[in-house]
């Protein structure tokens, strides 16, 4: 029902206004509607200051300045492209909607997890930092990294896990004992195998063409091992014209072998 207004005439006491009965009836009808909306028709059950009004339609051009908490029982939609959520008394942290892309956290602000030391942020325009106090754990069937890796600590894989390529996923298998098994015959660069005499005990050096294990031709070593029963297999062409010296750990030649 629309509000009923009491007719009061054109001028005072001109006799054109509502009678006392008609005016009283309008007053009763107005109060009846209020008591029905805010109570049971005879009693107001909730003060008007704590009522929960329902708005239907669109409020245009309204500015709200609320100093208390807001509780929303359903969805909140920011339906304008580029909408911004500001945080802080000075709005120093904000999230901006990027049309058809996502959300942008401003400047060098970070998103924290659990405490301040666990966070993700961008200290500059080209770097993204993921920081954790102890561990960052990735759980997935496959982690695809398209970048160079700069590792300052150790790389540890699970016991029995493999290191390989797309075409040979188990090229290297590392057991829990640390033993490495290759699925193919390893191919190593020439003059790339050397065992330090400072960190190993007595051993034999089989050298191709040098005078001692530590001389100018030490890089020509074919094998450098502690085991004296190692066997070297080479093609006859590779051995033609070669001289092999067997040298003890003191650098003394104990036997010379001439190839045929």
Q: What is the pLDDT of residues 34-83, one digit of tens each?
A: 888 888 878 887 555 555 667 777 777 777 788 888 888 889 999 899 99
Question: What residues contact residue 201 under an 8 Å CB cut-off, 6+ apart?
Answer: 226, 249
Q: Which of 42-56, 96-110, 135-149, 232-246 has the lowest mean pLDDT?
A: 232-246
Structural domain of 101: 84-131
Assess if residue 221 is contained within a domain.
Answer: yes
Same domain, yes or no: 192 and 210 = yes
Overall number of domains in the chain: 4
Look-up: residue for tokens 């058809």?
100
Same domain, 253 and 195: yes
Single out the residue of 229, 231, 206 nearest to residue 218, CA to CA: 206
What's the pTM value of the predicted model, to 2 decimals?
0.51
Sign of CA dihedral 232, 259, 237, 242: positive
Q: Are residues 195 and 163 in the same domain?
A: no
Residues 166 and 218 in one domain: no
Segment (H or E) for 84: strand 84-87
**Whether pLDDT at 96 is above 90:** yes
Return the higher-pLDDT residue of 187 and 234: 187
Domain contains 144: no
pLDDT of 166 strictly over 90: no
What band does 213 get if pLDDT is binned at 50, 70 and 90? very low
Summary mean pLDDT of the chain? 78
| Whole-number Cα distances in Å, 9 to 18, 20, 23, 115 | 8, 13, 12, 72
Residue 135 has pLDDT above 50, yes or no: yes
Is 195 in the same domain as 210? yes
Q: What is the pLDDT of residue 1?
A: 75
């Amino acid at each position: 029902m629309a509000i009923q207004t009491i007719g009061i005439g054109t001028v005072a006491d001109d006799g054109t206004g509502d009678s006392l009965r008609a005016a009283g009836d309008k007053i009763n009808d107005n109060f009846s509607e209020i008591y029905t909306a805010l109570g049971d028709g005879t009693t107001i059950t909730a003060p008007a200051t704590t009522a929960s009004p329902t708005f239907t339609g669109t409020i245009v051009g309204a500015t709200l300045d609320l100093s208390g908490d807001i509780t929303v029982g359903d969805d909140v939609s920011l339906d304008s492209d580029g909408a911004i959520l500001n945080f802080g008394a000075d709005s120093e942290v904000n999230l901006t909607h990027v049309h058809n892309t996502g959300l942008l956290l401003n400047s060098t602000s970070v998103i924290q997890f659990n405490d301040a030391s666990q966070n993700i942020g961008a200290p500059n325009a080209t770097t993204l930092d993921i920081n954790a106090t102890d561990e960052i754990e990735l759980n997935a069937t496959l982690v695809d990294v398209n970048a160079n890796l700069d590792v300052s600590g150790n790389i540890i894989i699970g016991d029995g896990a493999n290191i390989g390529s797309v075409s040979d996923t188990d090229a290297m298998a590392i057991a829990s004992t640390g033993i490495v098994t290759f699925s193919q015959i390893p191919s190593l660069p020439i003059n790339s195998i050397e065992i330090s005499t400072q960190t190993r005990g007595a051993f034999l050096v089989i050298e191709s063409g040098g005078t001692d294990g530590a001389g100018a031709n030490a890089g020509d070593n074919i094998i450098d091992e502690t085991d004296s029963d190692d066997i070297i297999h080479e093609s006859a062409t590779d051995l033609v014209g070669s001289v092999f010296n067997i040298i003890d750990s003191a650098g003394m030649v104990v036997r010379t072998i001439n190839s045929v």
